[in-house]
Structure 1
Amino acid sequence: MGYGDGGKGMRRFAFKALCPNELVARIMGKGGTRKEQLQNEMGCKIVVSGRDECFPGTRYRVLLIYSDNPEAFLGVMQHVIGDIVECGAKEAVSAEADFVGMDRGSYIVRCVVTKQMSSAIIGPKGSNARAIREESGSKVVIDPNITAGHQTVKIVGEPHGLQIALSRVNQYVQEQHGTPSYVEWATVKSFDGAGNPIYASPAETGISYAGHGGHGHANHGKGSEWPDERERTPRGPGAPAQRAGPRSVVNPPQPASSSGDEDSDLLSALSSTAQGFPRGTLDAEYTITCELPREKVGLLIGKRGEDVQRIRKKTGTYIHFDPAQDGNEGQTLTIRGPLLKIYQAHALLMKRYHETQVEEAPPNGANGDKDQKVQALEEQLQALQRQMAEVKQMQQSNVNAPPPAISGKGKGTGKGARKGW
């Protein structure tokens, strides 16, 4: 299913957010026109719980987005963030605020995840949550309370940072795709007044779920289960049926001294090779990984993730840096998407990688200047050492010299002797 089909057909992935009534009204638009527009533009299905179907313990309604493309959620949520900013313009800052954070210019996005998803978002010893904050400048807070397998996540940050943080959160959410907890979570569209889950129907989700009949208030069909990860790859003619596409491990390319003609020949060869692929296989999902020096990762990500986010948007690929591990000098970069797109993303990242090498390299003559400065410092140090040696020699001479003669009479004992010094 591609974008622009109005959410028709199978929708394999899901994302959940919580929205106050004012935000729901903006998302829906007059007569539901804006919701319909978002569905058509993003190729998704949007389901919103009723006014009296709030998430337990809150005043917020459930926003459920279904799509065959997990990146579609980010497009919808980008519009939602814009709505949150507009709603927050007239809201006072307080601990109970619906839209604005306590820090100036910050806003709040609330999501709903499973326990497994929240654990992935936090990461070992909080490493993933810290990485999200470092990359986006946004704070992620997870409510420890669990309701019908759901936990709430509050993300607080500036609008651009919220988009980056949501991208990372969405990655961890979709990594659970195909698991039983994901299927259960994805089918719960809201809760009744007693806090019992209300399940979405196959007509709402675009897919049937086996083993969920009789739950809540939905009449689930007996059709196929939620597709597992093996069916995640698009299945066009000749497309491989692997879990997440072929996986290859590559290292950052070394600078090559090739001429423009050689570059042109290489691009022509790549284009010719791509044209020879079986029909549909270039659009399958592939994965490449490479190890990068951990000190370079921050430069590749850019300030608040701007550089890597730009490459994600340009190529439409999934780009992820594993958190740095103690004792490991490298970090793993993972790029996932259509074959040519992942190599385009990899090339853009490697271009930035080598640009940082050039930026850090000393300018012409800098090494010579450095050598001269070092030599001057060494000469000063040697001169200081000579002066110290001369002072020590003078002190030693004074110690070995005979005491001065005592003037006056007497044998020099008692107080009279001391006065003679």
Structure 2
Amino acid sequence: MSVDADLRAHVGRNIGLLSLTQAIVGSNQAIIMAVGALTAATLAPDKSMATLPTTFMIVGLALMAAPATKTIYALGRRKGFMLGASIGILAGLVAALAVYLSSFWLFAIALSIVGASAAFGQQIRFAIADSVPEEMQAKAISLVLLGGVAAGFLGPRLSYITKDWIGGVEFTGSFLIIAVLSAIGVLILSQTKLAPVRQKQEGDAAGRTTGQLIRVPEIFIPLATGMASYALMTFVMVAAPLAMVHVCGHSPEAATTTIQWHIIAMFLPSLVTGHIISRLGTHAVVGIGMLLILGSALINLNGTSTLHFDLALIFLGVGWNFGFIGSTTMMAKAYRPEEASTAQALNEPMVFGTMAVASISSGYLLDNLGWEAINVMVLPIATAALALLAWGDYRARQARRA
């Protein structure tokens, strides 16, 4: 993929600004992962519904994934991302009001709006991948996602520091801060100069359809591993704070700290993930990610101390990083330029739809089957993803020999 001289001059600046955006706006999701379920547990008519608002966020993200892609392609990347961050301002205000009024269902609706806002932000990784030469894609994606390290520190800490600031109602301030962070995100995004989206021109090749793309192994495999990475991470992460506080008797502060380390582990490896992919290849890196997710489940099955939770969630975060960045890089290399919008509109709803199912089932299964069952269920899915990767790697090796 070639880029003009003007675009090259802005690549480093855009990576920095988009990484900063990930740090600021990404803190919104970190806040919800840290205190969303704990807040909902104080509002819900039944404890088994405590993860439902977080699930609403993920469902909002999944439902908005395809429309967000189309909106970005219609408005252009900068305006599209700014619109997404602006939606986050509304979401934070509604969420804070819901907590202040003790309205469980309004809180769930507010988090679905947070998810809709996040659907735009998820496209940032494709925006930077499409803005650099192919050999730079893995490193560029990694550097942008590195902003999540700051989100891992900032989000959970802000949620805990501000939880009693508004009207004496616990956690109201934690969600009001989402509106503040989103407004800052709009200002940062206004300074970006991203590569324009590619609009189809008369005479362009039609490209493959969605149905044709999903049958191509080079598309299907990263789609499946991306789904597995995000779904398994969500499945365990959403249940973990509830398991720590309501099952194992640990403090909310301990749960917040565990999620903080988990989010840092999700993004800190981005410093080196691109380099590792360049050395080992995407299949190997995604495979390592799946092995780390398996290791996380095994740690959880061997104890329930805060140390067990901390180590398991760190393994889970690093596993997600390798699995998700590797899958994204694999996907970005598999479609042709004229197929970008079709491939991305296929990938996003599938990945985040699976993530929504994982979140929905997580709270229910924790309440009815227990923490151990949550982790046992991780094992066959991660193993199946490893088998699929091995098959894909075998096909790639055979193709190179041919």
* TM-score over 0.5 (shorter chain): no
Larger helix proportion of the pair = 2
Please say which structure displays the higher CA radius of gyration: 1
TM-score by length of 2: 0.28
